[in-house]
Amino acid sequence: MDLSKFSVHAVVPSEFRDLYELEGDKLEALYSKSKRHQWNAETDVEWKEFDPTADIRDRSTDFMFRLNCVHELSEEQQTALWRGMNIFLISQILHGEQAALMTCGQLVNCVPDLDGKFAAAVQVMDEARHVEVFARYLDCQKARFPIDPDLKWIVESLLAEPEWEAKCVGMQIILESIALSFFRLGEKSAVEPVFKQFIGRVHEDEARHVAYGVLTLEDRIPELPAETRTRLENWAYDAVARLAGRAGRPAFQTQFDALSTIGIDLESFVPKLIAETRDASHIDAEGLEDPMAQTVIPNLIRVGLVPARLVPGYLAQGFRVDLAARRVDDIHSWHAETREMRAEFAREGVDFSKAQEVSRFATS
């Protein structure tokens, strides 16, 4: 499969209004802040300080580097593994930022209010800068990986989606929230000097983007017809199931293809990895963060896109959702509650990676 480029047929409705007063104080404040906090990826980053020998991020912040099968590798192999993992992840971030650039360009047309058009317009500039800064950084690393099919599925769905609310859900609430978690962690764990310079700036930009999505949708979602709301709830669930990798199949499977290029014997390493992670309850998870539990699902709850009928499916993925408290706990896939829920789905022949299947279980 050639993932170097692909085309999406998108028909984007455009709404023009002869109304030029900003109506929402919160969105106006975000737009004003965005104008004040612009930065230049070319001149505000000291690219000559790049250190090719440095780890990009602190290894101790990643789950993989708490596994015995990783520590059995030589120091040289561990360094290559960590570099490959980070370059794969940053490559997917880069592709996601291009998707955000294109989607926000569409939102300028189809969002009906001027506040939303302004917020989307300034985000277009932010996303262009993010594409530039991550592309430059991967050029420094002399490596980049193509878009993963899981991410490609999200991008194609977003660009072809005719409704602006769905674009906001997919972009600001899901993809941007995942990126926000990575940028927040990256700011804490950055080691390589150039990465350390710009990741905090990108984090600040991304926080505004997610805030725009939440502020826009938490008022809009309750007003949607029930059929539209159900479609968005299902779409969001399916996206989480695909990207979190906890619904019966691993996410971002091409990461293993990427790692095969860095000199590790995957035929020996992967079986050990699978065996050790099948039940990782013995591994210290202190300080580890999952973007789904930290940002994505809480924001989906806040805007009203986690219905009671899908809560069992989230539990089967290791996310315990309390709708009354608007809270999600990451209890992981090896927790007794998760295993019990999965067993119940299995007895009923339910594929919990699909929202429609989970809904069928909930109403049976």
Domains of the chain: 25-278 (1.10.620.20), 307-364 (no CATH)
Predicted pLDDT at 63:
84
**Phi-psi label, residue 17: left if phi above 0, alpha if psi -120 to 50, beta otherwise:** beta
Q: How far apart are CA 6 and CA 152, in angstroms?
A: 9
Segment 170-193 shows an average pLDDT of 91
302-312: pLDDT as tens digits: 999 999 999 99
Instruction: For residues 310 and 355, give the distance between their C-alpha atoms in angstroms, rounded to a whole number.
Output: 7
**What is the residue-wise DSSP string for 150-215?**
HHHHHHHHHHH---HHHHHIIIIIIIHHHHHHHHHHHHHHB-SHHHHHHHHHHHHHHHHHHHHHHH
pLDDT at 221: 93
pLDDT at 183: 93
110, two tokens: 């189809």
**Helices 176-189 and 75-110 sit at what angle, rounded to 10 degrees?**
140
**According to the model, what pLDDT value does residue 18 have?**
63
- For the segment 338-345, the average pLDDT, to the nearest whole number, is 95
At 64, is the pLDDT very low, low, confident or very high (cuts 50, 70, 90)?
confident
**Rounded mean pLDDT of 99-114?**
90
The residue type found at 125 is M
Q: Which residue has the tokens 């993992």?
A: 85
Mean pLDDT, rounded, of the chain: 88
Cα–Cα nearest to 192, from 47, 85, 66, 63 = 47
- pLDDT > 70? residue 26: no
Region 320-328 average pLDDT: 96
Contacts of 55 (CB under 8 A, 6+ apart): 79, 82, 83, 86, 191, 192
Encode burial over 324-363: b for 16+ CB neighbours within 10 A, e otherwise. Answer: eeeebebbbbebeebeebbeebeeeebbbbbbebbbebee
pLDDT in tens, 47-57: 999 999 999 99
Print burial letters for 298-321: b (CB count within 10 Å at least 16), e (below 16): bbbbbbbbbbebbbbbbbbbbbbb
The pLDDT confidence band at residue 321, using thresholds 50, 70 and 90, is very high
Containing 61, the helix (H) or strand (E) segment is: none
Q: What is the pLDDT of residue 362?
A: 82
Q: State how far the Cα of 165 lies from the Cα of 146, in Å rounded to an integer.
A: 28
Tell me what pLDDT residue 11 has.
65
- 215, with CB counted inside 10 A (0-12, 13-18, 19+), is buried
Q: What pLDDT band is residue 145 in, cutting at 50, 70 and 90?
A: very high
pTM score over 0.85: yes
Predicted pLDDT of residue 17: 66
- pLDDT at site 348: 93
User: What's the N-to-C CA distance of the chain in angstroms?
Assistant: 40
For residues 77-91, average pLDDT: 93
| For residue 350, pLDDT beyond 80 | yes
User: What confidence tier does 315 reach under pLDDT thresholds 50, 70, 90?
Assistant: very high
Amino acid symbol at 74: S
Which residues neighbour 62 within 8 Å (Cβ) at sequence distance 6 or greater?
A: 82, 85, 288
Helix (H, G, I), strand (E, B) or coil at 57: strand
For the chain, how are helix, strand and coil distributed in percent, rounded to 5? 65, 5, 30
Judge whether residue 320 has pLDDT over 80: yes
- Compute CA distances 317 → 78, 230, 320, whole Å: 29, 20, 9
Whether the CB-CB separation of 70 and 60 falls below 8 Å is answered with no
Condensed to tens digits (0 to 9), the pLDDT of residues 198-231 reads: 999 999 999 988 988 888 899 899 999 999 999 9
